[in-house]
């Protein structure tokens, strides 16, 4: 273990990750942005994430966690295993600047997703992210740090569609379903009402249908086709570009 006075530990651009185990709190000092890379699986080398390869009771004071504290609090005895648990489950303590940068990044990702998945039902065109942002500000919809941008985008879409501050709907998906025709009459009967503008290709033994669906129907179709046919997504969000 490293036991250094606080004056000898010089950390710059540090992100501290904290995890409480029982009554003890443990901290590790990491490089900015590397924690998220580790959690996404982009970065797998712990040494690339950590500024100091140690577990602390208090990073800013340079108080290193004792072997006794670590053994009592964690089931693992290996330091790297303990560090990986803190990296995976711990709370990231960010400076105000870091926090704002991360919020901006999540917000931009979220707006891009909403813009890609939604259209104006009259013009059949997508809204630019700036207009989506303006509508969400009016609705007092705020992004948070502890949820993925994709999940927050789906929540934002629900609010936008419900409130209709701007005319907006989820863009339809284009799918293709292939089935063996014998024995699947009930499934075909269930699928056809869900598929708009169907393009059918039928033979004695096979049935193929391509067309548009509302995104809310997708899960129903997936479950219906399970082990009975193949489902392809041809376009996640159909937009009229004419």
pLDDT of residue 7: 39
Q: What pLDDT score was predicted for residue 96? A: 78
What is residue 13's predicted lDDT score, i.e. its pLDDT?
65
| pLDDT the model gives residue 241 | 52
CATH code matching the domain that covers 6-93, chosen among 1.20.120.140, 2.60.130.10, 3.20.20.70, 3.30.1250.10: 3.30.1250.10
Residue ranges per structural domain of the chain = 6-93, 96-170, 173-235
Nearest one of 208, 200, 206 to 177, comparing CA atoms: 208
Q: Which fold has domain 173-235?
A: Alpha-Beta Plaits (3.30.70)
Helices (H), the chain: 34-40, 46-49, 67-73, 79-89, 96-117, 129-138, 149-163, 185-191, 218-225
Using alpha carbons only, how large is the chain's radius of gyration in Å?
A: 26
Collapsed DSSP state (helix, strand, coil) of residue 142: coil
Query: What pLDDT does 233 receive?
Result: 92
The CATH number for 96-170, chosen from 1.10.10.10, 3.40.50.2300, 1.10.10.900, 1.10.3720.10, is: 1.10.10.900
pLDDT less than 70: residues of the chain: 1-13, 240-242
Residue with tokens 């870091």, as numbered in its chain: 98
The whole-number pLDDT of residue 14 equals 76
Whole-number Cα distances in Å, 146 to 30, 33, 100, 154, 226: 18, 15, 13, 15, 33
């Amino acid at each position: 273990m490293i036991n250094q006075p606080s004056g000898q530990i010089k950390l710059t651009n540090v992100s501290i990750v904290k995890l409480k185990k029982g009554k003890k709190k443990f901290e590790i000092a990491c490089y900015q942005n590397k924690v998220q890379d580790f959690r996404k699986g982009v970065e797998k080398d712990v040494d690339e994430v950590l500024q100091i390869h140690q577990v602390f009771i208090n990073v800013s004071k340079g108080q290193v966690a004792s072997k006794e504290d670590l053994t009592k609090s964690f089931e693992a005895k290996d330091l790297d295993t303990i560090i990986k648990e803190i990296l995976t489950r711990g709370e990231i303590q960010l400076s105000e600047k870091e926090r704002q940068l991360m919020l901006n990044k999540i917000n931009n990702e979220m707006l891009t997703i909403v813009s890609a998945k939604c259209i104006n039902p009259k013009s059949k065109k997508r809204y630019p992210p700036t207009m989506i942002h303006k509508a969400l500000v009016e609705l007092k919809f705020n992004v948070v740090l502890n949820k993925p941008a994709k999940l927050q985008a789906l929540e934002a879409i629900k609010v936008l569609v419900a409130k209709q501050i701007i005319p907006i709907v989820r863009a339809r998906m284009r799918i293709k379903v292939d089935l063996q025709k014998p024995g699947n009459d009930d499934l075909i009967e269930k699928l056809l009402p869900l598929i708009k503008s169907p393009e059918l290709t039928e033979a004695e033994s096979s049935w193929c249908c391509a067309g548009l669906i509302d995104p809310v129907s997708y899960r129903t179709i997936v479950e219906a086709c399970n082990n009975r046919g193949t489902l392809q997504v041809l376009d996640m969000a159909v937009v009229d570009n004419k």
